[in-house]
């Protein structure tokens, strides 16, 4: 298993905090305003943040014409389906449970990698997938009765997760030879065009000025999610092995659950606490160095 560099570790910690906090933030944001409009406004404000960051870092914007077909596929699997489905799902589900369903993505990703992309998985990695799956099941324990009355929200969240998993696998194997932030920028622009079209078609009659709470949520999403988190995630997805890059963010739904409980008074049960332990096992199973790697590293530093 590849060892995390200091840069990857700090990006992973920052990403976990930003995305974990964002689940209750999104729930607050879509309360009282059309969900697609909420996401669209976040993207429109997030794009200038990306532009400023790319100009400051001197990252090129250009993508060759031959790469646009692949870029569209990456955008569809990593952005279009995810953003449409998950923002609709969060209206009918609690923020924590939406996060849990959304982060079944690592389970889908690991299975897709092993079955369709012939990725070799060790027993320890399968243990991580199993622990994450059990953790998700525990967190949904008390929601099963409620979820049976909200099948569309559940279905949308799972479709979003499965499509995102496919997108992560495709991004890992992309042949587009440009910086990850360039890909992130154009995927965000294309997703913004799709979301703008959808909110115009389906929500135009209910457009209204967002409340102060919704504006705060929109700005948070624009700066922290579209300006930072997406670029950070795409970088990690390209630079880390697929299982590590996906299971390593499994603390995000845990944060979503507990922050949602604190902010939105969502009730916690023993299953939530047990799931924390299982998620830590899942993360450790893919990120902790193996015994062979530890010996190799020890040998390398001996005189």
What confidence score (pLDDT) does residue 295 get? 47
Under 8 Å between Cβ of 207 and 34: yes
Which tops the pLDDT comparison, 190 or 2? 190
Under 8 Å between Cβ of 242 and 119: yes
What confidence score (pLDDT) does residue 6 get? 82
Which residues have CB under 8 Å from 20's CB, separation 6+?
Answer: 99, 251, 252, 253, 254, 255, 256, 259
Average pLDDT over residues 109-115: 82
What confidence score (pLDDT) does residue 138 get? 78
Nearest to 208 by CA among 88, 36, 34, 46: 34
Distance of CA 129 to the CA centre of its chain: 17
CA atoms within 13 A on the CB side of 116: 10
> What count of residues does the chain have?
303
C-alpha torsion angle, residues 197, 202, 206, 212 (rounded to 10): -50
Pull the structure tokens for residue 9: 């570790």
Q: Is the CA virtual torsion 185, 187, 189, 195 positive or negative?
A: negative
First to last CA, the chain: 25
pTM: 0.84
Distance of CA 131 to the CA centre of its chain: 19
Quote the CA–CA distance of 44 and 63 in Å, as a whole number: 21
Nearest to 106 by CA among 279, 293, 259, 289: 279
Quick count: other Cβ atoms within 10 Å of Cβ 134? 16
pLDDT tens-digit map of 21-73: 999 999 999 988 999 999 999 999 999 999 999 999 999 999 999 999 999 99
Quote the CA–CA distance of 194 and 87 in Å, as a whole number: 14
């Amino acid at each position: 298993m590849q060892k995390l560099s200091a840069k990857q570790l700090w990006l992973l910690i920052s990403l976990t905090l930003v995305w974990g906090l964002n689940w209750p933030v999104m729930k607050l944001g879509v309360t009282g305003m059309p969900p697609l409009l909420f996401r669209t406004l976040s993207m429109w404000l997030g794009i200038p943040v990306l532009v400023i960051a790319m100009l400051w870092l001197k990252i090129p914007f250009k993508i060759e014409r031959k790469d646009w077909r692949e870029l569209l596929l990456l955008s569809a699997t990593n952005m279009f389906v995810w953003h449409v489905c998950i923002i609709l799902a969060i209206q009918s589900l609690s923020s924590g449970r939406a996060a849990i369903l959304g982060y079944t993505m690592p389970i889908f990703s690991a299975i897709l990698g092993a079955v369709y992309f012939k990725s070799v998985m060790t027993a320890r990695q399968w243990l991580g997938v199993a622990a994450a799956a059990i953790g998700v099941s525990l967190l949904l324990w008390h929601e099963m009765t409620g979820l049976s009355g909200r099948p569309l929200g559940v279905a949308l969240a799972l479709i979003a997760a499965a499509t995102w998993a496919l997108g992560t696998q495709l991004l890992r194997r992309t042949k587009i030879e440009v910086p990850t932030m360039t890909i992130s920028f154009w995927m965000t622009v294309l997703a913004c065009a799709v979301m703008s079209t959808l909110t115009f078609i389906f929500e135009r009659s209910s457009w209204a000025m967002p409340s102060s709470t919704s504006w705060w949520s929109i700005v948070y999403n624009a700066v922290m999610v579209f300006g930072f988190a997406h670029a950070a995630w795409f970088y990690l997805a390209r630079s880390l092995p697929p299982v590590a890059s996906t299971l390593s963010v499994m603390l995000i739904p845990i944060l979503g659950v507990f922050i949602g409980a604190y902010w939105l008074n969502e009730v916690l049960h023993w299953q939530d606490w047990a799931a924390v332990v299982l998620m830590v096992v899942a993360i450790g199973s893919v990120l902790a160095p193996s015994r062979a790697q530890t010996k190799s590293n020890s040998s390398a530093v001996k005189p």
